[in-house]
Amino acid sequence: MKTYRNPVLNADWSDPDVIRVGDDFYLTVSTFTKVPGLPILHSRDLVNWTIIGHAYTRGHDDVRPGCGVWAPSLRHHDGRFWIFWGDPDVGVCWVSAADPRGPWTEPHVVKPGLGLIDPCPLWDDDGQAYLVHGWARSRAGVNNRLTVHRMAPDGEKVLDEGTLVIDADLLPDYRTLEGPKLYKRDGVYWIFAPAGGVEQGWQSVFRAESIFGPYEDRIVLEQGGTEVNGPHQGGWVDTPSGEHWFMHFQDRGPYGRVVHLQPMTWRDGWPVMGDEGEPVIEHRVPVPGGEPGGPGTSDDFAGPELGLQWSWQANPDPSWWELGDGTLRLGCVPGPDDLRERPSVLGQRLPGEPCTVTTSLTLEGEGRAGLAVIGDTAAHVGLERAADGTTVLVCGDMEPVPVERGKRVTLGARVGDGALVTFLADTGEGPREVGAPFQATQGRWVGAVLGLFAAGSGTGQAIFEAFTVDIER
């Protein structure tokens, strides 16, 4: 019997939702202001996932931590894939596509307003459509409650003012009820929703004979005696053989929100998740025969496009980058000195296991460039070249080290337990540790990212080769 170990996605794949179409499983996650956003992941066994595209290719022109795409819901209806999400500063939005690889429609706002988050649609048996969503106190002034609307079947608009179906202020010990997922099974309506906060909360389910309630509630997954704090929101999915599974996230600070897979059964009309309501660490693989794989980390820059694991911190300009001959060229473009505020940082998720990251850099012309780790705090190792051609290796408060003009330098970062980062450099005498250790930190609702950057007046270029991530297993 083949088994898997949680987390099945051991990096920042926040707020996952999952569906099955035939023998294929699809998953998407929150991306906030990363561009492109709404990655589409594919699997045949719920354990091994690869990225096949993105559903949202534009965002903001500037970096806005914590804004943008919150808690999407992925559904398949009437031959099309639909993703609904909440932008707390815009409203409830959706895109759709006939093929999960795209093309996807432009975003449509089905309900405008501030603080509308975590939406999920349901198309009922009689053709009526519904929409549930939560509330963000930061914009709406309220939270801990869920609202259901009748919705036009084509998703054009909501058809009423909405009904408050669950006011968790009235439920003992409930706080921050959010992330609802709406389902119907055997004539019963279900809302799966977490509460209690991402770090210390739990997963509840609510059931009712009418979509507008009244709803009964039950806690179905909580930390208990395990080391899986949270466990927080996710999605329910079945397999072709009729088994039931639940995917959810666990908040791991600088590593972000990693994704776990739990077995799920039904008992006395209620779902039972994990091991009698506690998360499992190891279990048998749901569907035999799946091909091993992952979302991708390393990139040899040999393809016509960047690997799908990469994203920018805001809308990219095509002039920022170029691929060719196994290299990635980043222009040393103007922008904020603070890497956390720079749109032109190219990043990917920090692996949830100890790893060593390496890349080679040659700096042509005036500017600075390097390898960074970015969250609420940021640090980097890199090269700086002045107008007179003087080039130095820099890392934090370290005294700059002269480097021969035009020389290729290998940069690296060893990420140890707890996401403690040791930067590395090889200027020709062999790799060595440089600078002081750096404690990676989470960002606004996200984990830390590994980033490549180039900055300057626009005249210089940074040439990167072979970005490699070696996971310690």
Q: Catalytic residue among 15, 17, 87, 222, which?
A: 15
Cis peptide before 214 (omega within 30 of 0): yes
User: Strands, E, within 108-256: which ranges?
Assistant: 108-112, 116-123, 129-135, 145-151, 163-167, 181-185, 188-195, 202-208, 216-221, 234-238, 244-251
Token pair in block for residue 425: 């450099």
* Measured distance CA(424)–CA(51) in Å, rounded: 30
Token pair in block for residue 465: 């080769």
Q: Which of 331, 429, 338, 442 is nearest to 380 (CA)?
A: 338
- Within 8 A by CB and 6+ apart from 143, the residues are 134, 135, 136, 137, 176, 177, 178
* Measured distance CA(15)–CA(4) in Å, rounded: 21
* Measured distance CA(6)–CA(284) in Å, rounded: 11
Q: Do the beta carbons of residue 17 and residue 74 sit within 8 Å?
A: yes
Catalytic residue status for 15 = yes
Q: Do the beta carbons of residue 350 and residue 419 sit within 8 Å?
A: yes
* Length, in residues, of the chain: 473
Token pair in block for residue 404: 């021969």
Q: Catalytic residue among 12, 45, 178, 222, which?
A: 178
Catalytic residue status for 353 = no
Residue 276 CB neighbour total at 10 angstroms:
8
Q: Which of 426, 341, 346, 403 is nearest to 376 (CA)?
A: 341
Residues forming a β-bridge with 28: 17
Task: Please say whether the dihedral angle defined by the alpha carbons of residues 281, 283, 286 and 288, taken in this order, is positive or negative.
Answer: positive
Q: Which amino acid is at 237?
A: V
Q: Which of 89, 156, 145, 151 is nearest to 120 (CA)?
A: 151
- Within 8 A by CB and 6+ apart from 202, the residues are 194, 195, 196, 219, 221, 222, 223, 230, 231
Q: Do the beta carbons of residue 15 and residue 71 sit within 8 Å?
A: yes
Known catalytic residues are 15, 178
